[in-house]
Amino acid sequence: MSERFWRILGSGWFLAGAAALFAGFLPLVLVPYADAAAAYTPEGGGFDTTFFYTPGEALNRAAAFDEAGRFAYIADRWTMDLFWPLVYGALFASAAAFALRRAAASPGAFARVLRGLVLAGPLLDYAENVAATVLVASVPARPIGWALAASVLTPAKWIAISAAGVGIVGLYAAFAVRALGGRRT
């Protein structure tokens, strides 16, 4: 993506908007959807709330949903879960771009990796949703390829999101340390 794109993402107004959207989305959309999902998701049936599961476990999770639960799961992935990766992705990308912009360094390897991670998290989330919804929609069939895809995409998503979060927090911690160090002199 272009440097202009990252400059826009790194602007204070974009970061403030992304943070406000995230702060509003959590209580108004995500929490009610999570509460509703708890009612239709069988014990151990969730895909994206677990770090790792085998392809066989993915097939068993999909089969554990009753018909109404399968419909609700698929509907949630293609309504609320179309927006959630955009919401957290915008916040992560903007927070990273904002911090990298203030670091005043030319975009080096760290910046490229961090930018890649903040973009990879939502993309992997979408891919995971596709694989999981195909599994759930396929019941009673047991498509092993989609089960394998879901079982690989879920930890890949969580690793990308976690690594991006650590990188972003690390940047802001470095700024705080630098600011505190400057006050002591």
Of 88 and 178, the structure prediction assigns the larger pLDDT to 88
Q: pTM value?
A: 0.91
pLDDT at 118 over 80: yes
Please write the tens of the pLDDT for every residue from 56-86.
Answer: 999 999 999 999 999 999 999 999 999 999 9
Q: Which residue has the tokens 């949703």?
A: 129
Judged on CB neighbours under 10 Å (0-12, 13-18, 19+), 15 is: buried
Q: Is 1 helix (H, G, I), strand (E, B) or coil?
A: coil
Confidence of residue 134 (pLDDT cuts 50, 70, 90): very high
Tell me which DSSP letter residue 51 carries.
S
- Average model confidence (pLDDT) across the chain: 92
pLDDT at 153 over 70: yes
pLDDT score recorded for residue 98: 94
* H-state helical runs in the chain: 3-9, 12-25, 31-40, 55-64, 67-77, 80-103, 109-138, 144-184
Integer Cα distance of 124 and 152 in angstroms: 10
When divided into structural domains, the chain yields a total of: 1
Domain containing 81 equals 3-184
